Structure 1
Amino acid sequence: MSLRDLAARAQASPGFISQLERGLTSASVGMLRRIAGALGLTVAELFSEDDSTAHRVVRRAERPELPAGPGTRKHLVSQRPLQNLEVYSGEFDPGASTGDEPYTHGDAQEILLVLRGTALLWIGPPGAAAAHRLEAGDSAEYRTATPHRLENDGDGPLEVVWMISPPTPS
C-alpha cells in the first residue's frame, strides 16, 4: 500500500503519515485506530514486535466467523495482520445468499472458487447483471468494485472460497 493510499484510508494527510513513519511526530489514539483499521490491524498489532506472519496454521474450527445472513456462514481463512491477500470460506444452505442486493467492497481483484454445490453468481449493476451458474471446481474473477451477489442455487450445501488481493478496507 502506498503512503497516499494509507493516508486516504486513515483520513490523514500524506505529509502527516510520512512524518509519523519517520518519527518526526506522534499520533493520537484515534488516529492510531484509523491507521490500524486501514492496515487491517488492531492498535496492539501496530506495536507488536512478534513476527508471527512467517508461518501460521489455522484449524478449520479456529477460523474467526464473520457476521453473515440467514443460512450463511462466513469465515476468515487468512489471518491478521492481512498482508497482500485475504481469503474467506463460505457455506450456504439451499436458497441462502449474500443478500437480496448486489454489493461492492473496495476495488481489488476477487476470485470465487466453488468447492461443493451449485452457485448462481450475478456480476454487474442491478437490472443489468450477468448471471453465471457455477458448479464444484468452477471459478469466477471480477473486481470488488463491480456489484456482485452469490446464491446457493442447488438442493444441497454450497461451499466456496473467496480470494481477494489486495485486501479490501473493512
Structure 2
Amino acid sequence: MTGPETARLGARIRAYRTMRHMTVRALATEAKASASFISQLERGQTSSSIGMLRRIASALGLTVADLFNEEDEIGHRVVRREARPELHTAPGTRKFLISQRPLQNVEVYAAEFDPGSSTGDEPYTHSDSQEILLVIRGQVTLWLGSDGSATAHLLKPGDSVEYRTSVPHRVVNECHETAEVLWIVSPPTTSV
C-alpha cells in the first residue's frame, strides 16, 4: 500500500473505532495488538498484515472489505422484509438484521417470538451499548439482571424499555400469540 492508501485505511479504522466509543487500548486488546501499533496504524505511520486487519475488523464488528470501502456517504438503503438477513436464534424465534453492514452508528433487529419461546434459558450480555426493546405486536416479558436479582418487565404493544447490553437480559413470550419486537442498539455491538 502507498502512503496515502495507508493513511486512508488508518482514518477509516479510527472512524469506526470512535463510532463504537472504543479506546485505542480497547481495540488493541480485542485485536490482540499493542495500543502503540493501533495508534500508528490509525495515523498512517505503519501498515498491517491481512491477519491483523482481520482481527481489527472482527473487533469492530466489520469485515476486512469494510475497512477498505472508501465510500464517504453510504446514503439510504432499502431493505425489503423478505430480504432481511436472518440470524441463528433459539427454537421458536426468528431474528432479522434491519440495519445493513457495515454497521455505522446504530444496529436494529426485528424479532418474532412464537408462544412459549424465548431468547434462551439463560440471560445474556453483549458489549456495553445502549439498547432499546420496543414491542410491536403481542407481549413479552423482559428479564433484566441475573438470577436472584432479576426484574421482570411485562411489555405490551407500544411499550419500550431501555437498558445497557452489559446487563444480563432475556426475553420470553408467555402468551398465546406470536410477539414481534424491535431492538435498537447504539453503538453497534460486536456480537453480530
CA distance in 2, matches of 1:51, 1:72: 36
**Cα distance 1:42–1:52, how it changes in 2: closer, same or farther (>3 A)?**
farther
Q: Percent identity?
A: 65
- Say which of 35, 49, 61 aligns to 1:14: 35
- Say which of 136, 139, 148 aligns to 1:127: 148
- Aligned position for 1:138: 159
User: Is it true that 1:150 corresponds to 2:184 in the alignment?
Assistant: no
CA distance in 1, matches of 2:97, 2:72: 20
Task: Give the secondary structure class of the aligned counterpart of 1:73.
Answer: strand
CA distance in 2, matches of 1:96, 1:124: 19
- Say which of 25, 44, 54 aligns to 2:65: 44
- Aligned position for 2:110: 89
**Cα distance 1:104–1:86, how it changes in 2: closer, same or farther (>3 A)?**
same
User: Is it true that 1:65 corresponds to 2:69 in the alignment?
Assistant: no
CA distance in 1, matches of 2:25, 2:187: 15
CA distance in 1, matches of 2:74, 2:28: 24
Equivalent AA in structure 1 for residue 166 of structure 2: A
Task: Give the secondary structure class of the aligned counterpart of 1:15.
Answer: helix
Runs of 5+ in structure 2 lacking a partner?
1-17
- Say which of 101, 106, 117 aligns to 2:138: 117
CA RMSD of aligned residues (A): 1.4
Contact 1:40 1:80 in 2 (8 A): no
CA distance in 2, matches of 1:52, 1:10: 27
Matches within 5 A, 1:99-110: 99-110=120-131
